[in-house]
Amino acid sequence: MVSKKNIIIALIAVILVAGVGIWATGTFQTSDSDLNGKEIHLAAAASLKNAYDNDLIPMFEKEHPGVKVTPTYASSGDLQTQIENGLDADVFMSASNKQMNALADEGLVDNSTNVQFLENKVVLIVPKDSNSNISSFEDLKNVKGSIAIGDPESVPAGQYGKEVLNNLGVWKDVESKLSYGTDVTAVLNQVAQGSAECGIVYATDAKSTDDVKVVCEAPENALDTPVIYPVAIVNGTDNSDASKVFLEFLQSEEAKKVFEEYGFTIH
């Protein structure tokens, strides 16, 4: 006859095995019924807008019909400031580790959820109908008009752009010609509309419009660090379960294919 003690021990063992099975896969198990009515507030770098709005958000909401994703797009530096000032954000995706690390140091993002899986490239662009002789970043010394670039104080693309120009030894020659944009979209628009002779943006931005053409990509030795896009959950969120499911979706093969279609490299 099986004792009550043995039955209890057996039940505990079953529960433990089940628990191990759930977490051994490395995935967070939450049913869609648990997520019904949830709204994920996404704070994402402006260079991610097209990929999210056109494909990723619709895909996620189709897979999880009870969940709504509400995005806020801006430069990563601007988003960092907004989160510091209480922006209602559940997930933050930056175009640089600088802003993510700052928020982690302040305890505003959960660094244990920080995932770094996307890489971008810095490119030099001109208007599509330009007859410019620009063929390299070094040629910017000869530009007569303005050079559009993100503000290095708050825009990661501008920070990377300044790093490229410094490392190639042309920053001092072009600094007076620079026209600062509040984000990469503003820089892209300056060049597309012809108000700037050329500009420095991400490869993904250049790919998003037919109104500009890429002159060249920044040499690898011109960047001290690759252009990595980290994503993490914001501390204090009321939607941690839904946010974890969203992060898992972003790392799925279907989502990675979308990012690649928009010009990102899987890191």
State the sign of the Cα–Cα–Cα–Cα dihedral 73, 255, 53, 122: positive
**What pLDDT shows up at residue 16?**
41
pLDDT reading at 98 higher than 90? yes
Q: Do 149 and 161 touch, CB atoms closer than 8 A?
A: yes
Q: Is residue 41 very low, low, confident or very high in pLDDT (cuts 50, 70, 90)?
A: very high
Mean pLDDT value across residues 245-267: 95
> What is the reported pTM?
0.79
Name the average pLDDT for the chain.
89
Mean pLDDT value across residues 138-146: 95
Distance set, CA 180 to CA 70, 81, 144 (Å): 28, 19, 16
pLDDT reading at 253 higher than 60? yes
Q: Do 185 and 80 touch, CB atoms closer than 8 A?
A: no
State the sign of the Cα–Cα–Cα–Cα dihedral 150, 154, 160, 163: positive
pLDDT reading at 28 higher than 50? no
**What pLDDT shows up at residue 267?**
80
DSSP letter (8 states) at residue 262: T
Mean pLDDT value across residues 128-136: 93
User: Among 6-15, 45-54, 204-213, whose mean pLDDT is lowest?
Assistant: 6-15
pLDDT reading at 236 higher than 50? yes
Which DSSP string do the residues of 147-196 spell out, in sequence order? EEEE-TTT-HHHHHHHHHHHHTT-HHHHGGGEEEESSHHHHHHHHHTTSS
Mean pLDDT value across residues 86-113: 97
**Pairing between β-strand 122-127 and β-strand 198-202 as defined by DSSP bridges:** antiparallel
Q: Is residue 31 very low, low, confident or very high in pLDDT (cuts 50, 70, 90)?
A: low
**What pLDDT shows up at residue 34?**
75
Mean pLDDT value across residues 135-158: 95
pLDDT reading at 107 higher than 80? yes
Task: List pLDDT tens digits, range 168-224.
Answer: 999 999 999 999 999 989 999 999 999 999 999 999 999 999 999 999 999 989 999
